Structure 1
Amino acid sequence: MVLPRRSDAQSLEAIARNASSFRRIAARIPTYLTDLRENPAWLPMFVLARTMPGRRVHWLTAKSVKPTENSNATMFAGVDRNTVVEALRSEGLFSGFFLPSSIQQEITHFAKQTPCFGNFDRRLEFLPTDHLVAEGDFGRALLSGHYFERILKCDAALAVQRDPLLHEVAAHYLGAQAQLITTRVWWSFPTQSVSDAEKNLASLDKYHFDLDDWRMLKFFFYLSDVDNDCGPHVYVRGSHNRRIIKHQLTLLVGHPADEVLGAYGTDNAITLTGPAGLGFVEDPFGFHMGTVPKQAPRLMMEVGFGVSRPSRRRFHGEPVIR
C-alpha cells in the first residue's frame, strides 16, 4: 500500500474544501436573490463591505450623535456607555451586561411554553421540551429551534429590544443612522449525526463573519447557563479591524479555524461562558462562531443594529436557504 505524500494529501484536502465551499455558495443563491429583490443596494454592500477599504469609506458616512440622557432608564445598571463603545472600537467585543432575573426568567418561561421551528424550517414545529421526541417524529436531527416573529409576543423580550442603553451604544458606535434590524431568540440543542450543512446554516462550529450590512452591532444574552459543554459563543478579539487579503477577496464568510486563528492570533479567541442573564455585544464583522452544545441546550437572545433598511425576513433571522 502506497500512502499519499503530505503534499498530495494537502492537495486533496484543498480540493475537498473548495468543493464544499462551492456547494455552500450554490445553496445560498436563493437567499442572495431574495436579498437583491428586497433591496438592490444589497449587492454593492455584499461585494464591497467585505473589503477593508470599502468599509473604511463607508464608516466615514457615520453621523454624529446628539447628547441624550435616556440611558438613565436602562435595565442594565452600572454599565457605562463610553466604556462599552471604547471596548468595541479596540477589541470588537464587550462582555458585562446582565439581564434582571425577572426579565431573563420571563423570556425563558415564554420560550419553554411556545413551539419553535427546527433548523429554520417552519414545517418542523415542536415544543423545546419535546426535542428528543420531535427528532424521532421528524426523522432527523434538530440542531436549533427558532421563534421568528413569535418572540414579539413576549413583553420581556420587547423590553430588552427597546432598552435605551442598547440604542445609545449602537448610535455612538455605528453613527446616528443606527437602527434596529434583528430581534430573535433561539435554542441550540445537543444532538447526534449533525451534518456540516446543518452546522453551517446554524452558524455553529465554524469561524465566520456577518455580512448583512455595511456596519453592524449585535447584543447577545444567554437565557440559560452556558459553560464549555453548553455551546458557548467564541469571538476573535480585534479581527473586526483587520482582515488578510485572502479573507477580503472571497465570497465565503466562513473559514477553517486553523486559518482564522493563524491569521488573527489564537490568544485572541475569547470563549464566552457564564450564568443565565449574561450579555455581551460584538461587532459581527469580527470572526466568531457558536459551538454545538454537548450536554444541555442553550437558549439565547440577539438584538442587532445596522445602518441600512432592515429586511422583514432577516429581522427574525429567517433564511431563504432550502
Structure 2
Amino acid sequence: MQTMSSPPQDLEAVARSGSRWKRMAVRIPTYLADVRENPAWLPMFVLARTMPGRRLHWMLARKPKTMVAGDDTMFDATVGNAVSALKSDGIFTGLQLPEAIHREIHAFALKTPCFGNFNRRLEFLAGEQAEAEKRFGRSLLSGHLFERILECEAALKIQRDPLLIAIARQYLGAQARLITTRVWWSFPTEATEADRRLASLDKFHFDLDDWRMLKFFFNINEVDEGTGPHVFVKGSHQRRMLKHQYTLLVGHPADEVLDYYGPDRAVTLTGPAGSGFVEDPFGFHMGTVPTKKPRLMMEIGFGVSKPSRRRFHGEPIIR
C-alpha cells in the first residue's frame, strides 16, 4: 500500500460538497428509521460524536483474550502491529490480498449487475456504465453489488479471515462482531452534488454508525490518483475540536479539518490491486471521485452493537 501526503489546496478543491444542511436532510429518513427500530441508537448518535462520551464507552469495553491469527490467515501481517498503528494513527496500511482472491472478486464484479447510486432501479453491468447513463438519463457515480457479493466465495473468505477478526477484537473489545460486507464501483463521471453527498465523496467526514467501529478496505483494482483514492487524516480519531463534537453534522470543510490536524496528517491511499488498509472510521476521511478509470473497492465492517435490519448503504447485514 502506497500513501502520499496531500497538499491542503488539492484536498480543499475536491472537498466542496454543497450545503451542510442539505447533506444532513437527505439522511433524516434513515435517522428516523434507526430510532424506530432501536431506541438505543439515539444516545449513541448524540453522545458518540463527543470525546467524553466515546472515552466512557471505550472504558466499559470487555477486554478480549490475546489473539493471534495463526496459520489460516491469507495476510502477511501481525495483530500487534495493526492494533498499535490503529491506536496511534487510526489507520494501518499493511494488508495485501492474494492475487487469486482479488482477481476472483474483480471477475465476479464485472459479470454481476450492480445498482447505480444506491438505487435498485438503476441496474447495469460495470462495463456498460456509459451506456447505462444514456439509458437512465443520469450520471452513475457508483455501482453497489449489495447482497450479491455474498455469492462470491473469495469475498466470504476475506470476511471470515482470522486476522481481521483478531484485529477487530483486540482493538474494539471482546464484543466486536462482523457487521457488513460491501463491494462497489466508483466511476469517472459528471456527478451531481446530491449524488456526491449520498456517496460521502469529496467531503471530509467521520462515521457514526456505532459507538466503536473498524473498517477494512481493499482496492480490488489498482488505485492511483486518477482512480478516486481514499484519504484519511491520521490521529483524528483521538482528538476532536469542540466545534466538530457538539454538532449533529459529521461532514466538515477541508480547511477546518486540515488547519486543526495539520496538512501533513492527511494521507492519500493508493496501491496495487489487492492492497488494503484498516481504519477507525471515527477519524476524518473521504473518498474521492475517479477522474480517469473506475475503482472497485471492498469493505469489511466490524462493530460492537446489535446490527440493524436496515443500514444507510443498503449492504447486507451479517448476523
Same fold (TM over 0.5): yes
Q: 2:198 pairs with 201, 205, 214, which one?
A: 201
Aligned counterparts of 1:179 and 1:316: Cα–Cα separation in 2:
18
Q: 1:245 pairs with 242, 260, 265, which one?
A: 242
Q: Is the 8 A contact 2:67 2:170 kept in 1?
A: no
- Could you give the per-residue CA deviations for residues 274-294 of structure 1, whole angstroms, max 9, x where no partner exists? 001001000000000000000
Q: How many Å apart are 1:26 and its aligned residue?
A: 2.1
What letter is aligned with 2:225? Answer: N
Question: Which residue in 2 is equivalent to 1:274?
Answer: 271
CA pair 233-41 structure 1, distance change in 2 beyond 3 A: same
Q: Is the 8 A contact 1:183 1:315 kept in 2?
A: no
Look at both structures and tell me which one has the larger radius of gyration over its CA atoms.
1
Give the CA RMSD over aligned residues: 1.7
Q: How does 1:29-48 map to 2 (within 5 A)?
A: 29-48=28-47
CA pair 19-235 structure 1, distance change in 2 beyond 3 A: closer
Aligned counterparts of 2:67 and 2:86: Cα–Cα separation in 1:
20
Question: Which residue in 1 is equivalent to 2:303?
Answer: 306
* Residue 292 (1) aligns with residue 292 (2): no
| Aligned residues between the structures | 301
TM-score, length-normalised on structure 2?
0.91
Aligned counterparts of 1:109 and 1:49: Cα–Cα separation in 2:
39
Q: How many Å apart are 1:31 and its aligned residue?
A: 0.4
Question: Which residue in 2 is equivalent to 1:122?
Answer: 120
* Residue 85 (1) aligns with residue 83 (2): yes
Q: How many Å apart are 1:314 and its aligned residue?
A: 2.3
- Could you give the per-residue CA deviations for residues 208-259 of structure 1, whole angstroms, max 9, x where no partner exists? 0000000000000000110011000000000000000000011110111111
Aligned counterparts of 1:254 and 1:234: Cα–Cα separation in 2:
14
Question: Which residue in 2 is equivalent to 1:162?
Answer: 160
Q: How many Å apart are 1:72 and its aligned residue?
A: 2.4
User: Identity, % of aligned pairs?
Assistant: 68
TM-score, length-normalised on structure 1?
0.91
CA pair 214-280 structure 1, distance change in 2 beyond 3 A: same
Q: How many Å apart are 1:39 and its aligned residue?
A: 1.4
Secondary structure of residue in 2 paired with 1:111: helix
Q: Is the 8 A contact 2:68 2:166 kept in 1?
A: no
Secondary structure of residue in 2 paired with 1:184: strand
What letter is aligned with 1:148? Answer: F
Question: Which residue in 2 is equivalent to 1:8?
Answer: none
Q: Is the 8 A contact 2:118 2:313 kept in 1?
A: no
Aligned counterparts of 2:67 and 2:231: Cα–Cα separation in 1:
33
Q: 2:222 pairs with 201, 216, 225, which one?
A: 225
Question: Which residue in 2 is equivalent to 1:182?
Answer: 180
Instruction: List 4+ stretches of structure 1 deviating above 3 A.
Output: 67-71, 315-319
Structure 2: which 5+ residue stretches go unaligned? 1-15
Question: Which residue in 2 is equivalent to 1:74?
Answer: 73
Aligned counterparts of 1:294 and 1:301: Cα–Cα separation in 2:
19
Question: Which residue in 2 is equivalent to 1:55?
Answer: 54
Question: Which residue in 2 is equivalent to 1:132?
Answer: 130
- Could you give the per-residue CA deviations for residues 136-155 of structure 1, whole angstroms, max 9, x where no partner exists? 00000000000111100000
